Structure 1
Amino acid sequence: MRILFLGDIVGRSGRDAVEAQLPGLRRRLGIDLAVVNAENASHGFGLAPAMADSLFAAGCDVITLGNHAWDRRELIGHIGSAPRIVRPLNFPPGTPGAGSVLVTLGDGRRALVANVMGRLFMDALDDPFRATQELLSRHRLGTTVAAIVIDFHAEATSEKVAFAHYLDGRVSLVVGTHTHTPTADHRVLAGGTAFQADAGMCGDYDSVIGMGKEGSVARFVRKMPGERLAPADGEATICGLFVETDDRTGLARTVAPLRTGGLLSQAMPEIASGEAARPA
């Protein structure tokens, strides 16, 4: 299975870039499953239902969220009828929506996608390790599902790395989100799980993690509240990760970063000649 994961969409610049380029990326890379984190898609804070619909129309299969999940309050009433939008699994019991979703591909294969939130330097939530363990007790990689993708929305790299090693050999991919800066540690762990500590963002990097420079810098310099921060609106870099799994085991065979457009160095996964032109 070929999986494309795109990091946090920030504002209109990120949304427009993903919606414009995702169909072509699916064709070029022969993507079977596309997952996008969109918790900052709406002016940098939350996700509006109409924006989710546009991302799905562009070819996104699952949308993940994070600590800004409820910044657009209309999503609270919408998420129960939109199973392909998943909020953090370890939110308290009774929280609207679900932390995971089973996706059935066109060829009948099934993939499990989950969104989990870290606790170090974040909100005090249920244990992400225990919550994920309970989820995996109901789904077995290579048996009941062909792939398992975990978006670990967390601040601390140490927590992300520990989480990936905890799940190594039991899931296809653990990818970090939230810090908006792509790390250079993409690899397949010893047990066969693909990992990158942070996928980066889909947004304008001439910014402070996606938000306008002037207002962001002023908050650090003056230590005074100012106007609500707004996303930078220059050309976005699309940042993400490409993973190809073994159809027999569901474990990762290859992992490669994807960065296209905008200011960052460009990186496009290499696909052997003649292999990519299959239906997405």
Structure 2
Amino acid sequence: MRILFLGDVMGRAGRRAITEGLTDLRARLRADFVIVNGENASGGMGLTAGHAQLLLDAGADCLTLGDHAFDQKDMLSFIDREPRIIRPLNFSREAPGRGHGVFSDARGRKVLVLQALGQVFMKRPFDDPFSAVDQVLRAYPSGGLVQAAVLDIHAEATSEKMAMGHYCDGRASLVVGTHTHVPTADAQVLARGTGYLTDAGMCGDYDSVIGMDKAEPMRRFLTGMSRDRFTPAEGEATLSGVLVETDDRSGMAKAMHMVRSGGRLQPSPVLP
């Protein structure tokens, strides 16, 4: 199976890149299943019901969220009506929605999608992500009830993401980080067959400060004072993420490919 994962959709620019580019990208990559992290798609903070529907209609098979999952209040009710949206497993026990789901590709193959929030350097003391993930992976062994399992680890610290990758090695098809909006260059297949990437980056305008218009972040760094709200940059966006090829019988990864499409963040040419 070929599974495409795209990082945090950032504001209007990211939404536009998805609606205008995902159909073609999916066809070019021959992706069987597409997962998109949409947690910053609405003004850089959360995801509205309308924008969620826009991303799903554009070709995403599943959306993941993050620590801003319910910043947009209509998501509190919409997520219970839309099973294709996954919020973090270790969010509040009272939170609506689900932290994992099993979906089918066009050929009927089952894909488990789950998400967890990291604890290190995050603003809130979320529950232990490792035990939450372990419980779900034990219930859905790869190559058994599902043909593939993808974990979105939404976290700040690279060490925590890497630890999660090794913790899930041999049990998940792909462990991919989100949240920092900066793509890392460490795509690899771990020793027991799990594809791993520390951060998928964002689907947004990279002529920015992690997706935000540069003026206000620069002012705060230089003066220590704020004047305006952060607003998403609205230039041409890059779709950024990873494509993993998996074995249907074992559920493990066979290959990992970095994905960059459009905008400023194009892959560098191979030097002689």
Which bin holds the TM-score, normalised by the shorter protein? over 0.9
Tell me how far 1:204 sits from its aligned partner.
Answer: 0.5
RMSD over equivalenced CA pairs, Å: 1.2
Tell me how far 1:19 sits from its aligned partner.
Answer: 1.3
Q: What are the Cα deviations for residues 104-139 of structure 1, in whole angstroms up to 9, with x where unaligned?
A: 222221110011110000120110000001111211
Tell me how far 1:5 sits from its aligned partner.
Answer: 0.2
Report whether the alignment pairs 1:120 with 2:120: yes
Report whether the alignment pairs 1:205 with 2:214: no
Report whether the alignment pairs 1:96 with 2:96: yes
Tell me how far 1:227 sits from its aligned partner.
Answer: 1.5
| Contact kept? 2:102, 2:113, Cα under 8 Å | yes
Report whether the alignment pairs 1:232 with 2:233: yes
Count, aligned residues: 268
Cα distance in 1 between the residues matched to 2:132 and 2:208: 35
Give the AA of the match of 2:96: P
Q: What are the Cα deviations for residues 22-57 of structure 1, in whole angstroms up to 9, with x where unaligned?
A: 111111111111000010000111101111111111
Residue 188 of structure 2 corresponds to which residue in structure 1? 187
Residue 274 of structure 1 corresponds to which residue in structure 2? none
Give the AA of the match of 1:189: L
Among the aligned pairs, what percent are the same residue?
52
Residue 265 of structure 1 corresponds to which residue in structure 2? 266
Cα distance in 2 between the residues matched to 1:95 and 1:53: 20
State the SS of the aligned residue for 2:24.
Answer: helix
Residue 50 of structure 1 corresponds to which residue in structure 2? 50
Tell me how far 1:267 sits from its aligned partner.
Answer: 7.3
Report whether the alignment pairs 1:172 with 2:167: no
Cα distance in 1 between the residues matched to 2:220 and 2:96: 33
Counting only pairs closer than 5 Å after superposition, residues 21-32 of structure 1 correspond to structure 2 as 21-32=21-32
Cα distance in 2 between the residues matched to 1:249 and 1:166: 18
State the SS of the aligned residue for 1:164.
Answer: helix
Q: What are the Cα deviations for residues 209-236 of structure 1, in whole angstroms up to 9, with x where unaligned?
A: 0001001111122222321110001011
Cα distance in 2 between the residues matched to 1:267 and 1:224: 37
Q: What are the Cα deviations for residues 161-183 of structure 1, in whole angstroms up to 9, with x where unaligned?
A: 00000000000000000000100
Residue 153 of structure 2 corresponds to which residue in structure 1? 152
Tell me how far 1:81 sits from its aligned partner.
Answer: 0.8
Cα distance in 2 between the residues matched to 1:186 and 1:231: 27
Cα distance in 2 between the residues matched to 1:48 and 1:159: 29
| Contact kept? 2:212, 2:230, Cα under 8 Å | yes
Q: What are the Cα deviations for residues 53-109 of structure 1, in whole angstroms up to 9, with x where unaligned?
A: 111111100100111111111111111111111111111212111111110222221
In structure 2, stretches of 5+ residues that fail to align are none
| Contact kept? 1:204, 1:262, Cα under 8 Å | yes
| Contact kept? 1:258, 1:267, Cα under 8 Å | no
| Contact kept? 1:34, 1:60, Cα under 8 Å | yes
State the SS of the aligned residue for 2:144.
Answer: coil
Residue 39 of structure 2 corresponds to which residue in structure 1? 39
State the SS of the aligned residue for 2:130.
Answer: helix
Counting only pairs closer than 5 Å after superposition, residues 214-229 of structure 1 correspond to structure 2 as 214-229=215-230
CA gap 1:6/1:267 in 2 versus in 1, 3 angstroms: farther
| Contact kept? 2:216, 2:226, Cα under 8 Å | no
In structure 1, stretches of 5+ residues that fail to align are 269-280
Normalising to structure 2: TM-score of the pair? 0.96
Report whether the alignment pairs 1:248 with 2:264: no
Cα distance in 2 between the residues matched to 1:217 and 1:150: 34
Cα distance in 2 between the residues matched to 1:192 and 1:207: 36
Residue 80 of structure 1 corresponds to which residue in structure 2? 80
